[in-house]
Structure 1
Amino acid sequence: MTDATYWDTRYAESTAVWSGDVNVALRDEVSDLTPGTALDLGCGEGGDAIWLAAQGWRVTATDISAVALAKAAAHAARAGVSVDFQCHDLGSSFPAGTFDLVSAQFLYPRGEVPRERILLAAAAAVAPGGILLIEGHQDFGPFAEQHHAHGDISFPEPDEVIAGLRLGEGEWQVLRAAKHDRLQNGPDGQPAHRTDSTVKVRRLPG
C-alpha cells in the first residue's frame, strides 16, 4: 500500500480524523508574528491552514491525501477563508517558492523518504527573515499500543532535528529547541500526558 493510499483510506473511513482545531504549539509560536506567506506541510483536514488564513496569512497547504485536501477545502469554504491547497508527495514534489513561515506539525512520512530529507526541503523554502517551525513527538503517549505496529518510527531530540537541518553558520538563529508536556485525549477519550518538542528557527535576512 502506498503512502497516499494509506492516508486516503484513513481519511475516507471517518468524517473527521483530527479535531479541526489549530495545533496549540503553532498558535503559541506564531501569534506574535506579522502575517505574510505561509506553507503548511502535511495539512490534513486543514485546521492549521484555516487558522493561519483567518489570522491574515496567505497560505499554501499541502498533503499527500486528495481525500484530506477535499475535506480541507470544504472546511475552508465554510470558514470563509482562502487557502491554496496542493497535493504533493513531499518526497518527490514540493510547493514552489519561498515563504515567511514554513510549518511542519507532527509530520512523519510512512514511505521510504526520510523525514530529515523533507525537513531539509522545508528549510530551503524559508524566505530571508522567515521562520521554520517543526513540532514533533518524543513518545507515543496514550497511543503506544495503537502504534505498536509502527515501532520503527523514531522521535529525534530537538538538537538532533536541528543538526539534521544542516543550517549554514551565521545564516540562521535558533529561537527554540525544547521538549514540553502536552495533555492529549487518548483513544479511550481520556486525557493523558504526552511529551512533544518544538524546533523554531529563523533564517537571518540578507
Structure 2
Amino acid sequence: MGSEEYGEEFWEERYRSHTAVWSGRPNPQLVAEARDLPLGTALDIGAGEGADSCWLAERGWRVTALDLSETALRRGSEHAAAAGVGDRIEWERADVRTWDPGDRRFDLISAQFLHLRNTELRDLVGRFAGWLNPGGTVLLVHHDARDLHTTMGRPHVPERFSSAEEVASWLPGEWRVEVAEARPREATDPDGKAVTIYDAVVRARR
C-alpha cells in the first residue's frame, strides 16, 4: 500500500465513516516524554481528533495541530473548545510532506504513528532542524517492525516499519539523541485477544 493510499481522501473517508476514530486520550509515549519538558510552542503532526494537541494545550503549550483531514481537525477544534483550550491551538489542514511552516519555529515537534514509508520519514526528519528553536525537542513514535509478527493486523509493508535506532540514525550529527528504544505495551487485536505490541520511541534535542 503506497502513501498515496493514506492521503487526504483515505483519512477524510475514515473520519467521516466513524463518530470517533481514536480513544480521545493522549498517546502514552507523548505523556511520558513531554510531561517534564519546559513549555513553549509545539507542532503536533498528524493531530487527528486532537487528543495530543489538547493535552499539550492544557499543560500550557501553544500548539499548531497539523492533519490531512478537515473532519478530524473540526472534531479536534470542538474538543479543544470543550476543554477550554481552543485559544491555545491553531488547526491547519496540510500534508506534512510538502508543508512549509514559514517563519514559525517550535520548541517541540511531536509525530505519533505517521503513515509514511521509511524514505518519506527520513526526508521529513531531515527537515526538522529548520523548524525547531535552538534547544528544541523532536519526539517520533511509530510501530516497531516486530509488530508485523503479531496478530494486530498491521499492514505487511516492511518499508513502513523501522527500529528506533534506525530512525535516530537519520538525524543530523549535531542532534543529541536522548531516547531511542522499543517500548512494549499491551493492546487488543481485532479478535479481542490481548497482545504485546512495541512502540519505537525516539526523542532528540537540537
Q: 1:187 aligns with which of 190, 199, 202?
A: 190
Q: 1:143 aligns with which of 152, 168, 190?
A: 152
Conserved in 2, the CA contact under 8 Å of 1:142 and 1:186? yes
**For this pair of structures, how many residues does the alignment match?**
196
Conserved in 2, the CA contact under 8 Å of 1:123 and 1:132? no
Task: State the match for 1:201 in structure 2.
Answer: 204
Conserved in 1, the CA contact under 8 Å of 2:178 and 2:205? yes
TM norm structure 1: 0.87
1:108 aligns with 2:112: no
1:152 Cα offset (Å): 4.7
- For structure 2, the residue ranges without an aligned partner over 5 or more in a row are none
Q: 2:54 aligns with which of 40, 50, 57?
A: 50
Task: State the match for 2:36 in structure 1.
Answer: 32
- Structure 2: how far apart are the matches of 1:55 and 1:181? 26
Task: State the match for 2:64 in structure 1.
Answer: 60
- For structure 1, the residue ranges without an aligned partner over 5 or more in a row are none
- Structure 1: how far apart are the matches of 2:125 and 2:47? 15
1:174 Cα offset (Å): 1.1
- Structure 1: how far apart are the matches of 2:200 and 2:70? 28
- Structure 1: how far apart are the matches of 2:193 and 2:78? 29
Structure 1 123/17 Cα, relative in aligned 2: closer, same or farther at 3 Å?
farther
Task: State the match for 2:179 in structure 1.
Answer: 176
1:60 Cα offset (Å): 0.6
Q: Deviations over 1:45-65 (max 9, x none)?
A: 101000000000011110011
Structure 1 66/109 Cα, relative in aligned 2: closer, same or farther at 3 Å?
farther
- Structure 1: how far apart are the matches of 2:35 and 2:189? 27
Q: Deviations over 1:107-135 (max 9, x none)?
A: 1237x971222222234312101100001
Conserved in 2, the CA contact under 8 Å of 1:142 and 1:194? no
1:26 Cα offset (Å): 0.4
Task: State the match for 2:91 in structure 1.
Answer: 85
Conserved in 1, the CA contact under 8 Å of 2:115 and 2:160? no
* One-letter amino acid of the structure 1 residue matched with residue 194 of structure 2: P
* One-letter amino acid of the structure 1 residue matched with residue 108 of structure 2: L
Task: State the match for 1:132 in structure 2.
Answer: 138
- Structure 2: how far apart are the matches of 1:113 and 1:93? 17
After superposition, the CA RMSD in angstroms is 2.0
* One-letter amino acid of the structure 1 residue matched with residue 160 of structure 2: S
Which structure 1 residue ranges, 4+ long, deviate > 6 Å from structure 2? none
1:98 aligns with 2:101: no
Tell me whether 123-132 or 90-99 shows the greater mean CA deviation.
90-99
Q: Deviations over 1:127-183 (max 9, x none)?
A: 101100001111244422x635xx254311112102222x13xx3211111111011
TM norm structure 2: 0.87
